[in-house]
Structure 1
């Protein structure tokens, strides 16, 4: 009888890596003769949810995730935890290690839904790696709100404006109009919930459900006192760890245990978090946020060149964890009213898949038929701002593909910043051009994308040609 494996895949945004990891694990299992069932926890929710019977019959569990997941279903099972990107790169290795018990650990119990190895007082993967996962959990839940709110906010300009003796009046400024309500939905309520949702899910990742309320209210306060993205992260982490430790320290008789999660923890943690945000965090973080905003707004010349190069270099993992940090920085810039970094970062994410696509079209002899087909698919992924379309190529030829992706992305980012391009929505790629006002200059945005992608393709073709010649000589 074939060995059995169950797996869960989930990346930070729940879009590309989630499904690429799932496909990679399925193909590897088929090659190894292993029966596998994979659950994807993507942006649209849980898909192909694991059946309890399959979990019970499994010989091993693989969690290919970049954010915290509930492990209570896998009690009594040994788990192998890897990043979604690692599962894409070496799915066979992940399955073999899980079945052999190499690097596995016991699943967290029902009372430890948030992973025990991420606790600061229980060893294992604590410290920065745990904090990073908590913050990325908040970012992943915040993204749909930012995207919806950002695009609707930009759509308010579709209704035009009127010149009056007092100056220009936009349609959305007139209360009761359709444009006014779209603006309220997108800007006031949509983007207005960005920081609270970020904080709430950071706190929820640390302390599970009891951390959600203090995190949300802390985020509301952070937004209200103008401490922005930084204040929201601080509020979420503080609320989460405070709630977690209060939950450990407060002991109640069994008859009153039910009061702790619904009354005592939310009340105490919310009060403490709120007071700390007002009296301690508010002023210095608001000042720091303003300094960063002023700095970004004042960038010109060499400053833009440096920022563009940094953006390109930091996208080396093609939509992975480091890229998401850069992406979070761009979102923070949007929150601060600075839209140049978002355009630059989006271009960095769009150049790699389009660059490899051009490379496969320009010199077909360098690639297999399957790779050329993947290149064609990468064109649409680039247009959609899904960087992961370049991953299959970077995995197979890292020394030839990654330099081109990084340099091409840097070229596009530098051009974008030097030309003053701005983007008010955090996702959508070329489809944002259909909504006037989201990208301030569509033709120049496309030009930056094409130039960066051609540079990327040129480097890839040159390096791949050298590689093929060496192989032929050998």
Structure 2
């Protein structure tokens, strides 16, 4: 993704110099720097390189600071960052990106932010510490826009700076929903309610997923070691024998159960946080804990988080005297909001939601035959449509929610979701192996990596292929995912781990049939994508075909 680095690597003749380049000890040469600087000087002389709408000639490049984040904080966050940085280099714009990923984030240097001419937010969850960017022209979009059209975002940022459009992004803006990407750069104040709601929910899911992964895998490992009856073992604090496998299994089970106990409160707390920032954390967590108390489960956590965020947003709009503002977020808002949310969850909405949760559980447990197959098809289509995007996350969150109170039906859903999510990268890997000539060199290299990504249940491994040829790749992998989801449900495969791919096969119920379902979906998706790409290549071999191949290389790279 860094053309300067790849060009320098290809041009290298001295092994020591190439090794130094890879280690980062030697900067790649930039043969076009002189031309870029000349272009900047020409634009400055003609008055076209301006910042802040002043029209004054500038000798320094246009500066942009950007923030990227996605619900899981893994793939899309860093892909968007790379895409924006590469587009900035191509446009002669200085782009500095802060990735707010799952491993935390390193804040941009305040001096860099102060010197920036514009700001780009490419995010699907709340940008943290928004106040740093106050007073700058702002382009506010979803994370996929940062991946797919970075040059457009940079151009829009420059136009806003030239017009002198100033954003008022502060931490308090979260109370009104400001700053959620709606994909058009307008910010969430003008976004549709559904866009804001999705962002709030994804904020909660992004913080919940690590608890699910840690707790679910520990519980699944405990069952693999000690059997399902280990769930009823005595507390290891009272009885633990170092040399007994069952004691270790009980330990893993009880640690995993403790992690799982936070699932609903964390979901509720961070949905509220996404709506109204830190003052909403306390009522959100309180509401999530009450949801568990009244047996409202995952649905109760969703409602509790939304209620907590809404109550805090309402309290924040009440005008107060300046002397009270200091204690509002620490004392007054958590106190009032927790009392209101607690009342609503205990007295008003808790029991109806618990009834709905029980009905959903009974429905899942009663699924059989064609109904189970239809649900598997729907989940498979959702998992493969956007490969880590909103629909994929909704299906995954639905499956994960069932693990909070596992039943045979919810375990089948989890199995179908993970199986279908493995299909897109595995299918692209197989397609690049059996019909290499249909793919570019870059795509074939991506295909080798996709074997591991698919086996690990990282659906995003197919994104480079979908970005390069969406009309052929996406329908193909959706068909394969639907087949896998349907077969997994029909076979009655179950899964207690929320992640892991083939590495958790020993923890899967009906493992051989489960692998068969994945293989069938992968073959279907591979056959379709090969057929569709072959049909295009068998058209008249005009120059346009080569041009299409060239465009694929550019997009995939």
TM-score, normalized by length of structure 1? Answer: 0.92
Aligned to 2:356: 288
* 1:31 correspondence with 2:117: no
Aligned to 2:101: 42
Aligned to 1:384: 456
Q: Describe the SS at the equivalent of 2:524.
A: helix
Aligned to 1:125: 191
Q: How many residues align?
A: 460
Q: For residues 143 and 471 of structure 1, do their structure 2 counterparts lie closer, same or farther at Cα, with a shift above 3 Å needed?
A: farther
Q: Distance between the aligned counterparts of 2:78 and 2:155, measured in 1? A: 20
Aligned to 1:165: none
Q: For residues 118 and 373 of structure 1, do their structure 2 counterparts lie closer, same or farther at Cα, with a shift above 3 Å needed?
A: closer
For residues 255-294 of structure 1, what are the alpha-carbon distances to aligned partners after superposition, in whole Å with 9 as ceiling and x for unaligned? 3332222222111111111111111112111111111111
What runs of 5+ residues in structure 1 fail to find an aligned partner? 162-167
Q: Distance between the aligned counterparts of 2:388 and 2:290, measured in 1? A: 31
Q: Distance between the aligned counterparts of 1:258 and 1:295, measured in 2? A: 49
Q: Which has the higher contact order (CA 8 A, sep 6+)?
A: 1
Q: Distance between the aligned counterparts of 2:538 and 2:115, measured in 1? A: 50
Correspondence for 1:472 among 541, 545, 550:
541
User: How much does 1:471 deviate?
Assistant: 6.0
* 1:429 correspondence with 2:501: yes
Q: Distance between the aligned counterparts of 1:225 and 1:171, measured in 2? A: 22
* 1:18 correspondence with 2:77: yes
* 1:323 correspondence with 2:392: yes
Q: Describe the SS at the equivalent of 1:50.
A: coil
Worse-matched range after superposition: 190-199 or 299-308: 299-308
User: How much does 1:93 deviate?
Assistant: 1.8
**2:423–2:480 CA contact under 8 A, matched in 1:** yes
Correspondence for 1:358 among 427, 430, 448:
430
Correspondence for 2:117 among 59, 71, 89:
59
Aligned to 2:253: 183
For residues 318-338 of structure 1, what are the alpha-carbon distances to aligned partners after superposition, in whole Å with 9 as ceiling and x for unaligned? 110111111111112222422
* Equivalence map 1:162-181=2 (5 Å): 170=230, 173-175=233-235, 176-177=239-240, 178-181=248-251
Q: For residues 471 and 135 of structure 1, do their structure 2 counterparts lie closer, same or farther at Cα, with a shift above 3 Å needed?
A: farther
Aligned to 2:339: 271
Q: For residues 79 and 123 of structure 1, do their structure 2 counterparts lie closer, same or farther at Cα, with a shift above 3 Å needed?
A: closer
Larger radius of gyration: 2
* Equivalence map 1:212-223=2 (5 Å): 212-223=281-292
Aligned to 2:12: none
For residues 69-106 of structure 1, what are the alpha-carbon distances to aligned partners after superposition, in whole Å with 9 as ceiling and x for unaligned? 13211111111112111221122222222222299761
Q: Describe the SS at the equivalent of 1:323.
A: helix
Correspondence for 1:83 among 137, 142, 165:
142
**1:68–1:115 CA contact under 8 A, matched in 2:** no
Correspondence for 2:152 among 93, 102, 106:
93
User: How much does 1:128 deviate?
Assistant: 1.9
Worse-matched range after superposition: 332-341 or 197-206: 332-341
Aligned to 2:368: 300
Aligned to 1:68: 126
Q: For residues 396 and 336 of structure 1, do their structure 2 counterparts lie closer, same or farther at Cα, with a shift above 3 Å needed?
A: same
User: How much does 1:30 deviate?
Assistant: 2.0
Runs of 4+ residues over 4 Å off in structure 1: 102-105, 113-116
Q: Distance between the aligned counterparts of 1:171 and 1:206, measured in 2? A: 37
**1:304–1:414 CA contact under 8 A, matched in 2:** yes
Q: Distance between the aligned counterparts of 1:455 and 1:425, measured in 2? A: 26
**1:71–1:107 CA contact under 8 A, matched in 2:** no
Correspondence for 1:373 among 445, 449, 452:
445
Q: Distance between the aligned counterparts of 2:251 and 2:363, measured in 1? A: 33
* 1:3 correspondence with 2:62: yes
User: How much does 1:172 deviate?
Assistant: 6.2
User: How much does 1:160 deviate?
Assistant: 2.5
* 1:229 correspondence with 2:298: yes
Q: Distance between the aligned counterparts of 2:169 and 2:461, measured in 1? A: 34
Aligned to 1:164: none
